[in-house]
Amino acid sequence: MKKAHTFHIPVMGTCFTIDSPIKVAKYGISSVISLVDDTLIESMRKYYCQKSGEPYQPITKKDDDFRAKRITAYLDLVDKIVMQQFAELKASAFEVGTEITKYFELLPASSPLKLLYNLMLKTNDPDDKAKMQDRLRDTMEVGSIDVNIMTKLDRANLDKEGKPLPGEFSDALAALRGYAESKLKSAMVLSAGLNQKLYSYMEGFKDFYADTTGQIKKKIVLKVSDYRSSFIQGKFFAKKGLWVSEYRVESGLNCGGHAFATNGTLLGPILDEFKNKRDELISKLHTVYNNALKMKNLNPFSHPHEIIVTAQGGIGTHKEDIFLQSHFQLDGTGWGTPILLCPEASTLDDKTMKKLTEATSKDLYLSDVSPLGVPFQNLRTSSSEEEKQRRANTDQPGSPCVRSHLCFNTEFTDKPVCTASRAYQKLKLEQLKNEALSEECFKAQRAAMIDKSCICYELGNGALIKYGIVKEDNHYVAVCPGPNLAYFSDIISLKDIAEHIYGHKSILNATYRPNMFIEELMIYIEYFMKEIKQAQASLNDKQKKSYQQFLNNLLNGVDYYKDLFPKMLAESKEYHRKALDELHELRTKLENFVNSISFLKIEAAPLPCS
């Protein structure tokens, strides 16, 4: 079914979209709730129960299966609130300033609903106008209340006596169970790669299977960064009789939050592969899927279920958005980072919001702060970073470990701890002091250690402060915007962001903004050069070969974009020339670097000047 809007709001942090459906679903806009932090989720449930007048019964850590129960209870509450809002919106009058009028004004001009709405406004006959209004109300749809599980966050848990709980009580499986047992009809967005235990666990919940009419109550969405892994994960599900309904392709590095770099393959070539192999993907998966259904004594389907492909990561203009959808035949796009500046759609405390409006490209960087060891987009001026530096400067590095969702290290302890925690960093610092390290080496290792941040807890504080659940003075806020934030500097309304996406106005600031593909290439080249500089002294032959392939993929990407930019017909010839000049400059930068590294070589033809 064609959705009301061509864009969705991806998951952002643990709290930035924690209640986005309550804000935007009534307008037909889909968004994604993170299921990482069940303590935050429980706090939000209490807040919205009190606000909406719903009875609140606490679900404490003393309750059996509390994590899953908290998630189920919150999602059911969000669903109830959204459906009440939507019913009230549909019942409102078609008058200036009403909610139903706002619903239609936010729609893209190409939407059949918008076209009918505009026709209704021009209709003078009262009976015809009333019939058209009834038809509009009947055709409206609510935005999807989707959820996200980051598959790598799958901590094993202990019972009240400190003994290991069965596998189904791990963080990821409990979160999945919480969603599966909710009333929602929506989608589960899985990110960060294949988790066989988690994926296999989904087999046990009927809502993930298609019914006899082919409808799936709880759809599976994969957030992916390349075609090959998409096919592998889709096939894994198909073998279990489960269908992946959407492949949400995200730029490896030009995104917010954790950044999972590809092997140098850039977003454009990746989307091109999806475009060219989409029919093949659907056909192959459908065959595997039907065979699995037969093995389960379930009826196969003569035609594949719908598969949609969307893209996200660094999109910043209407022309980029439209080009992605038309050229790569996408079904929609995801807009994240700019929406951090829209209080009507996301949730963040006022002080951090102000810091985001003031942030420049120098304040936004791809950091090593994540205890997962995965690059993480960060804001240098956040209160989390400021407090981390204060602790380090007073020889008290590390954070109190409040949530413990990233406790995976057993270097010094039997029980896993987080590398950002005060407990770990104290032990690590003692170890470093006892080793015969040079002063330079000691400083480098200490700096790498104290760089880790408590992102599982501090990423959630923005919502808690915003709603007065905790006090601002002793709670620090981490935030993870993508590089695209440098080009947006104002607090924006939902109407503003919709009009920007759909090309009716621009909310970009005056900072020069390169094309999104150029921006991603710039980030990948910087990432590549940094990786080589840090590792070249200790690389083995296999690693050298891997970096050579990374380089080849970057060069192939440059060649691909050289042919792509002139196809952006909505852009001017001056825009094309500028993009090609930037490509040439970036390739030259890459070549100059490669010439300084003995084991790398340029294997692709040079890019001619524009």
pLDDT in tens, 306-335: 999 999 999 999 999 999 999 999 999 999
Whether residues 260 and 113 share a domain: the answer is yes
Asked which of 339, 359, 392 is the last residue of a domain, the reply is 339
- Determine the residue type at 16: F
- pLDDT of 609 reads 47
pLDDT tens digits for range 458-490: 999 999 999 999 998 889 999 999 999 999 999
The closest of 152, 108, 529, 500 to 337, measured between CA atoms, is 500
In 10 A of CB 228, how many CB atoms? 12
Question: Is residue 605 situated within a structural domain?
Answer: no
**Residue 471 to residues 307, 388, 475, 476, Cα–Cα distance (Å):** 45, 19, 7, 10
**Residue 609 to residues 570, 577, 578, 579, 588, Cα–Cα distance (Å):** 22, 10, 11, 11, 11
Whether residues 62 and 157 share a domain: the answer is yes
Q: Give the start-end residues of each E strand in 425-581.
A: none
**Under-70 pLDDT residues of the chain:** 1, 604-610
Given a contact cutoff of 8 angstroms between Cβ atoms, the answer to whether 454 and 313 are in contact is no
Joined together, the tokens standing for residue 140 give 């409206």
Whether residues 210 and 322 share a domain: the answer is yes
- pLDDT of 160 reads 84
Strand duo 244-250 + 186-191: pairing: unpaired
Question: Is residue 533 situated within a structural domain?
Answer: yes
Question: Is residue 604 situated within a structural domain?
Answer: no
Whether residues 194 and 298 share a domain: the answer is yes
Whether residues 95 and 212 share a domain: the answer is yes
Whether residues 173 and 230 share a domain: the answer is yes
Whether residues 458 and 527 share a domain: the answer is no
Given a contact cutoff of 8 angstroms between Cβ atoms, the answer to whether 71 and 175 are in contact is yes
pLDDT tens digits for range 558-608: 999 999 999 999 999 999 999 999 999 999 999 999 999 999 999 755 555
Whether residues 138 and 119 share a domain: the answer is yes
Question: Is residue 43 situated within a structural domain?
Answer: yes
Say which residues have a Cβ less than 8 Å from residue 362's Cβ, sequence separation at least 6.
380
Residue 403 structural domain: 349-478
Whether residues 220 and 101 share a domain: the answer is yes
- H or E stretch including 249? strand 244-250
Whether residues 331 and 422 share a domain: the answer is no
Question: Is residue 599 situated within a structural domain?
Answer: no
- For residue 333, give the CATH number of its domain: 3.20.20
Which residue matches tokens 């033809």? 605
Question: Is residue 201 situated within a structural domain?
Answer: yes
Given a contact cutoff of 8 angstroms between Cβ atoms, the answer to whether 285 and 235 are in contact is yes
Please give the tally of structural domains in the chain.
Answer: 3
Q: What is the C-alpha to C-alpha distance for residues 239 and 293, in angstroms, rounded to an integer?
A: 8
Whether residues 471 and 520 share a domain: the answer is no
- DSSP class per residue in 545-610: HHHHHHHHHHHHHHHHHHHHGGG-TTS-HHHHHHHHHHHHHHHHHHHHHHTT-TT----SPPPPP-
Whether residues 51 and 189 share a domain: the answer is yes
The closest of 26, 30, 21, 19 to 466, measured between CA atoms, is 19
- Determine the residue type at 344: E
- H or E stretch including 47? helix 38-52
The closest of 65, 39, 35, 155 to 416, measured between CA atoms, is 155
Question: Is residue 234 situated within a structural domain?
Answer: yes
- pLDDT of 610 reads 45
Asked which of 417, 451, 478 is the last residue of a domain, the reply is 478
In 10 A of CB 367, how many CB atoms? 18
Q: What are phi and psi of 568, to 5 degrees?
A: -80, 80
**Residue 67 to residues 40, 60, 292, 421, Cα–Cα distance (Å):** 11, 9, 32, 22
Question: Is residue 509 situated within a structural domain?
Answer: no
